[in-house]
Each structure stands twice: as structure tokens, then as C-alpha cells.
Structure 1
């Protein structure tokens, strides 16, 4: 396992495919879908390197988590999700930025094991990998093993909705680990609609709100940027201020769109580099977000990879 500033292909995370409904199947297991961001942990000779989903080394930002993972038994490459837990006991994406300021509880939820003591486990069945993972994790308040339950996805999904969770991840119990691949062996089932978006502009502030009125949003489509709407809710005063400062450094003179969009006369365009996440009611017939709410910035995915996520029926 070579340690570099970017993640080698064989260590890249396996991705889940969005599906349209929960289901029951004895050949599948179900895990809670955590509302955080993906993090690969590489432990070698007691030293820990942490990587984001897009392969950037982020150990320096989460020193306490890295320190806790030094307690892993032997060498390992672990897949998991870094989450911030709120007072309700549920992970919330919005709290992650607060956690960096020590205002929320951070936990690394480990759910898969790719390598153990230089042995490649990726072709082993999922449940065997999880059994090995549970055995090597240290007892630490910053580290959690992600449990799974069998077969009854419909029941577990209803429980996730009641608890206010983001959803479930369904996994074929005997599935291999496909590094860097998105397969139908892992499915995500969301309790609410969410979408990663790229910020391409902001409008002038209105009435009593400072800094800006709304963000202009886009996704990548056929090597161009597609307009998908504006988001003007979900911002605290601190978020408005922080975002405005970041966007001010990214100003550009031209719109990224070939056609006009609403409020262009009061829009400041920015370089399409900041990725955010929103929740929303539905997609309109024009392909725009209805009633979007801003949740926060994502640093774990490059803007060029942000496309509209479409639900697929399970085969």
C-alpha cells in the first residue's frame, strides 16, 4: 500500500446506485445511510492516512480521528463515513462544518474492509469483510462499526423515516468490493430527495438579508453546465457570510449557460468550482429543482463530476 497525496485506483471507494423504493430480500442486508462524507482510512505500521472520496489526503483536518484509528489491529484499508452527530443522536451533514470548530460530535462509521495486513479482501463476500472489520476496530468514542440487518428493507426504511435518517444502503450480502465502481450490488434508498449541485453565481441581497439573495445552481450535462434553479433558503448568518467571502474570490464575467436564466440582471457569476448539497421536493418538467433548501458545501467531489442523480428501479 503506497501512501501518496492522492488515492490509488485500487483504494478508491465503491459507490452505490440510487434506487426508487425499499424492498425485502433474504440475499440482501441493510445499513443506515449516514449523512456525512466518505472517508478511506489507510493504516500502516500504526500510522494513519485519511482520504476523501475524490482522493485528497485530509488527515490534517481530522487529527483526532486519525489518532483514534492508530488503535486498529494490524495494517488495514477501511471504508467508512465521517459524520457529525446532533443532539437527537442522528448524523446531520450541516453539522460537519461545525464539528471542525469543535461544536459537534465527530464519529467515523466504518462499514467495509478492503485490505488487511496486505491481503486483498475485495473479492471476499461482504459479510466476511464486515466480520473481519469488526474484529480489528479499536474501542474509541470517535470510531463506530456500522451494523447491518438482514432481509426486511421495507420495515427498516420505515424506521429510518421515523428517526429522521437520510435513508438506507442496501447491499447484496455476498457482494465483492468494486473499487471506484458504481454497481447494482450496493443501492441507496433515500427518505428525502437530495442532489449535489455546483454553485455558478449568486444574486444581490434583498430586504434585510445581508451578503446575497440566492445561489444559482447547475449540474454537468454533456460537457456543459445545465441550469437547475436557485436556492435561497437554508442559510444561517454565518453561512451567508462565509459563502459570500469564498464566492467573492471566484468572480467571473460571463454566465456558464448558453441561454438566459432568471435574475441575470442582479447575478454575479462565479467560477463553477464549489460543490454543495440541497434537499428538494421534486424535479420540475423543465429539469429544475422545486423548493430546494441549502444543506452545506461538499469538499469530497470535484465540480466536473456533479451530474443529475436519477433513480433506477432495482433489477
Structure 2
């Protein structure tokens, strides 16, 4: 597999900054925040390569999507999100594993165009790139164009909350595309708190639950692993079985934490390399997750890159950054 460090920067996606509140602004557009994982599509002479956010080539895992994207008009590099759509018509991160077993419908939601016909479009304004993207996308049930709404971010966010969507994206309408960089030209506003986590261990099963009890969670902080709590809900029987198989292969005798943590006497430690995502109520004063719920494994990010995500206060994002 190809890692982000060896993938050309032009194929690395632009990253958004988390902020704490929606806003209205005539110079900005607003899109759905899709609940899946980032995927860059490179089309060259009719052949398609799909890349995850961390630079892994994932074309073989999503052959049907790659085949559908062969219909793109001309050579292009497209940025988008791969999602799994449930019966409610909404994307759900938890369903992505099911989609690989053909138990949910995959959809590639394209939202930006970096290159087309050998031309570098990244310095063009966002709305010009989106217009050109829409013109080259094929009509296919596995491909969707990410529509946007202008100016009225607060109303759009309220609609996202009613529909139980993950959130919205706010993008400066005239912004350039900054490959591999996180900027304030793209902002994400979430309807619920979510956090990427690294699995550091698992506890023994209790009562009637098989395989494992809870996962021990960590993030990177100051070059070391920081304990942020346990998650023991959000698992199906199949998920528990699959997780147990993956974690057993990573077993180690040593805790990654500098101090003792909860339930060490019933904990099996693992090498901290498996990344997952959880939703939760809030951060405690001790820096731990309150009421976390397991959502699924993320294969698109390296464990060493997982840190606590702290939203920037909208008031602290300067007017120059937002205008």
C-alpha cells in the first residue's frame, strides 16, 4: 500500500478546521458533512485509482465505485467522500463495514476538482471548480455531486440537526484548494461531538457478552499516549467478533500509558495502531470521554496522527479568515 508520505502532495486532500458554531456569510457556501471517509479519485486515460486520506490505494476494496468513475469525462483528480447510505436515505459511518459485505448502498459524493485535462485548477475559486466538476461527472447510481447553499449557514445547520446528519461544511466561495493543508477556508460544524481514537487494549467480557467487554481508548499528546476512557457500547455481535480477531493479533504485555488506568487487572493490552471513531456527550475535567459510543474502525488515518480535536471558537476565527 502507498502511504501519504510517498503520495504526491497534489493527491493529498485539503483539510477543514473544526469550529463550534454555524454562521451566515454571503461570501461562504455550505454543504452537507458526509458521514463516511475521504477518498481522492485520480482518473488517467480511463483508468481509476482511489486513495484514502492517509494515502493508501484502496481501488481494489471499492471496485464498483472505481468502475463507475471510469465514466468521468477526461483525466481528472477529484476530491470527495465515500459513504454508506441507510434505509433512511442518510449516510452512516457505522454502515461502511456493512457496505463491504453488500449490506448497505455505497455512494461517492464528489465535492471538489483539483485537476482536469492536465490543467491545475487548485488556484481557481471554489465555485468555479465545483461548476467544472459537475460538468464532468457521469450519471451513475454510485456517484453524487455535492450541492451547496449560499450564505445561510445557520438555517442549513438547523436542517442538518433535524435530519440527524453529522453536521455541515462551511467553505469560502472564492477559496483556493490547499492540498495536504488544514486551513480556515474550510470549516466543519458538527451536530454532535465525535472523536477519532486509538485502541490501546480491551477488557474481559462480562455477563452474556462474548469476546470483549470494553475498549481502552487513547490519543497522542506530547509525543506519548494519553488515556481518554473506555467505550463499552455501540457493538453488534459481529462487530465484537471482528474486533476481537483484529485485536488479538496486536496483543502485547505492556501498557502504553505512563500511569495506571481503570480496570487494568482485566485488560489485555494491544499495540496502539488501530484507529476507531466514537461519539460522546462531553469531555470531563480529567480529559476523558463521557458516555462514548463506538461507531467503527477508521482505516484512513494513522494512529500516530490521532490527537484530541479541539474546536476553534468562531469568535476567534478572524474576520479576515472568514471573509
* TM-score band w.r.t. shorter chain: over 0.9
Q: Report the CA distance between 1:8 and its aligned residue.
A: 1.0
Matched, 1:283 2:283: yes
The whole-number CA distance in structure 1 between the counterparts of 2:118 and 2:305 is: 31
CA distance in 1: counterparts of 2:207 and 2:61, whole angstroms: 37
TM-score of the pair, normalised by structure 2: 0.96
Distance 1:189 1:47 in 2: 35
Deviation at 1:313, TM superposition (A): 1.7
Distance 1:121 1:115 in 2: 5
Give me the whole-angstrom Cα distance separating, in 2, the residues matched to 1:145 and 1:198.
32
Query: Number of residue pairs matched?
Result: 312
Q: How does 1:204-283 map to 2 (within 5 A)?
A: 204-283=204-283
Give the C-alpha shift of residue 13 in structure 1.
Answer: 0.2
Give, in angstroms, the shift of residue 46 of structure 1.
Answer: 0.3
User: Counterparts in 2 of 1:1-315, with a 5 A limit?
Assistant: 7-314=7-314, 315=317
For 1:226 and 1:238, the matched residues in 2 are separated by 29
Do the aligned residues in 2 keep the contact of 1:211 with 1:244 (CA within 8 Å)? yes
In 2, Cα distance between the equivalents of 1:204 and 1:176? 50
| Per-residue CA distance 1:86-133 (angstroms, 9 max, x = gap) | 000000000000000100000000000000011100000000000000
Tell me, in whole angstroms, the C-alpha distance in 2 between the residues paired with 1:66 and 1:212. Answer: 36
Task: Give the structure-1-normalised TM-score.
Answer: 0.98
Deviation at 1:222, TM superposition (A): 0.8
CA drift of 1:11 comes to: 1.4
C-alpha distance in 2, partners of 1:258/1:273? 17
Question: Does the Cα contact within 8 Å between 1:7 and 1:51 map onto a contact in 2?
Answer: no
Alignment partners' CA distance in 1, 2:263 and 2:103? 36
2: distance between equivalents of 1:211 and 1:58? 29
Match of 2:321 in 1: none
CA–CA distance in structure 1, aligned partners of residues 7 and 26 of structure 2: 35
What's the counterpart of residue 320 of structure 2?
none
Moved over 2 A (4+): 4-7
Residue pair 1:72, 1:137 contacting (<8 A) in 2 also? yes
Give 1:83 deviation, angstroms.
0.3
- CA contact 1:220–1:306 (8 Å) conserved in 2: yes
Query: Contact 1:219/1:306 (CA < 8 Å) preserved in 2?
Result: yes
| CA deviations over 1:47-93 (Å, ceiling 9, x no partner) | 00000000010000000000000000000000000000000000000
Matched position secondary structure for 2:169 = strand
State the shift of 1:10 in Å. 1.7
- Matches of 2:56 and 2:181, distance apart in 1: 18
Unaligned runs of 5+ residues in structure 2 are 318-323
User: 3-state DSSP class of the match of 1:40?
Assistant: strand
Tell me the CA shift for residue 7 of structure 1.
2.5
Counterpart Cα distance in 2 of 1:313 and 1:205: 40
Structure 1: distance between partners of 2:116 and 2:313 = 35
